[in-house]
Structure 1
Amino acid sequence: MYYIVVYDIKEERVNKVLKLMRKYLNWVQNSVFEGELTEGQFERLKIEIRKIINSNEDSILIYSMEQKWVNREVIGVERGDIGRII
């Protein structure tokens, strides 16, 4: 499945979340990642996220898509060059 993850994390935890997200997904721009994950990878990612964040202060939004193709249009500066999304 294809995922887009957006987060708003307190400064003291943001680097840990950034490193974790880079292990699983492609960086698009500040606090935004996207990519294809298996169900197992997605479950592991959520478990690891919960170990890092403070659920009373931090926020993570996860969008999932089942379509084979997702089109992305960028207006302005391309922050993370990942090309066409499969």
Structure 2
Amino acid sequence: MYVVIVYDVGVERVNKVRTFLRQYMLWVQNSVFEGELTKAELMKVKSRLKELIDEDYDHIIFYSSRDKKYLGIENLGTPKVDTSNII
């Protein structure tokens, strides 16, 4: 499935969250990652993020679709990463 993760976490946890997510997904913008994950990978990501954040202060949103082609994606400006050639 194709997943977009958007997060707003305390500055003291940002690097830990970003470093972890880079293992599974592409960093496309500050506090935004996207990429293909299996259901098992998504469960693992959610579980680990729950350990890394302070649920009373931080917020993470998961958007998922069965395939990227079903998302209506539009960009303005220059993206950080070109994801068009990712298989």
How high is the TM-score relative to the length of structure 2?
0.89
- Contact 1:9–1:59 (8 Å) recurs in 2: yes
Partners of 2:67 and 2:47 in 1: how far apart? 25
Partners of 1:84 and 1:73 in 2: how far apart? 17
1:13 corresponds to which letter in structure 2?
Answer: R
Return 5+ residue gaps in structure 1 as ranges. Answer: none
Which residue matches 2:23? 23
Partners of 1:6 and 1:23 in 2: how far apart? 16
Q: 1:5 and 1:79, CA in 2 relative to 1: closer, same or farther beyond 3 A?
A: same
Secondary structure in structure 1 of the residue aligned to 2:57? coil
Partners of 1:33 and 1:75 in 2: how far apart? 17
1:74 corresponds to which letter in structure 2?
Answer: N
Please give the per-residue CA displacement for 1:16-69, whole angstroms capped at 9, x wherever unaligned: 000011011111110000011001101110111011000000000000112362
CA RMSD of aligned residues (A): 1.7
How high is the TM-score relative to the length of structure 1?
0.90
Question: What's the offset of the Cα at 1:73?
Answer: 2.4
Partners of 1:68 and 1:8 in 2: how far apart? 23
Secondary structure in structure 1 of the residue aligned to 2:16? helix
Identity across matched positions, percent: 43
Partners of 1:19 and 1:81 in 2: how far apart? 19
